[in-house]
Amino acid sequence: MKRFAVIGLGNFGFHAAKALFEDGNEVLAIDSDRARVQSIDPHCSEAMVLDATDKEAVKSLGLEETDGVIVSTGTKISNSILICLYLQEAGVKKILAKAIDDDHAKILRRMGATEIIHPERDMAIRVSRNLSRPNVLDFIPLAEEFDMIQVGAPREFIGKSLIQLNLRARYNVHVIAIKEVVPENFVLVPPADYVIKDSDILVMLGKSADIRRIKELK
């Protein structure tokens, strides 16, 4: 089980925390607004009223032990900047921060954010691209108990072929495509002798419980 924290429980933060929790992760949800904390409480492992711009309060949470922290603190730019700085100083290795614009994003990266989220822009691009050049993967109807995910190659997969891994027998999942990052390439229905590289992204299909087992691999 992975551990995450979400700081800021507006619309984006609320749904991010809820989705992580429903995916079987341990989730700490944080906001300075008590009503928001009470609202997320049934949908996370722990909900906490806390001012994350308080450096000592952030240090006391032990967030360096988490697998990632999402910072989604609304329109007051200074808050997200301070929080990212404090998270970096606390030793958090993966910080995903919501940015209002490109300048905000640049500052967040300098303050320690490892990934920038532009919710409205990213969703607009996705919707537009699906309209103009639809991806067949987006149109596969999945039953409720099935998931299709993209996941970086787990360490134990690297250097082995798909036939050696035998994922269908071991995990009951199917690798339906592979995104090669170096060099950039997309392999649809990879052959059995395809050897997994550390830079590969696997597109996998299977039951939710089986997919979760893959995601828990390091």
What domains, with CATH codes, occur in the chain?
3-122 (3.40.50.720), 138-215 (3.30.70.1450)
Model's pTM, two decimal places?
0.66
- The predicted pLDDT at position 132 comes to 67
Three-state DSSP class for residue 145? coil
Mean pLDDT of all residues in 174-193:
89
Residue-wise pLDDT for 133-150, tens only, equals 555 455 455 566 788 888
Residue type, 104: H
User: Do 194 and 161 meet the contact criterion of CB atoms below 8 Å apart?
Assistant: yes
Residue 169 in this model has a pLDDT that exceeds 80: yes
- The predicted pLDDT at position 181 comes to 81
Residue 52 in this model has a pLDDT that exceeds 70: yes
Could you tell me the pLDDT band of residue 116, with boundaries at 50, 70 and 90? very high
Residue 29 in this model has a pLDDT that exceeds 80: yes
Tell me how many degrees the CA angle 23-131-117 measures, rounded to the nearest 5.
Answer: 45
Considering only 19-28, 91-100, 179-188, which range has the smallest mean pLDDT?
179-188
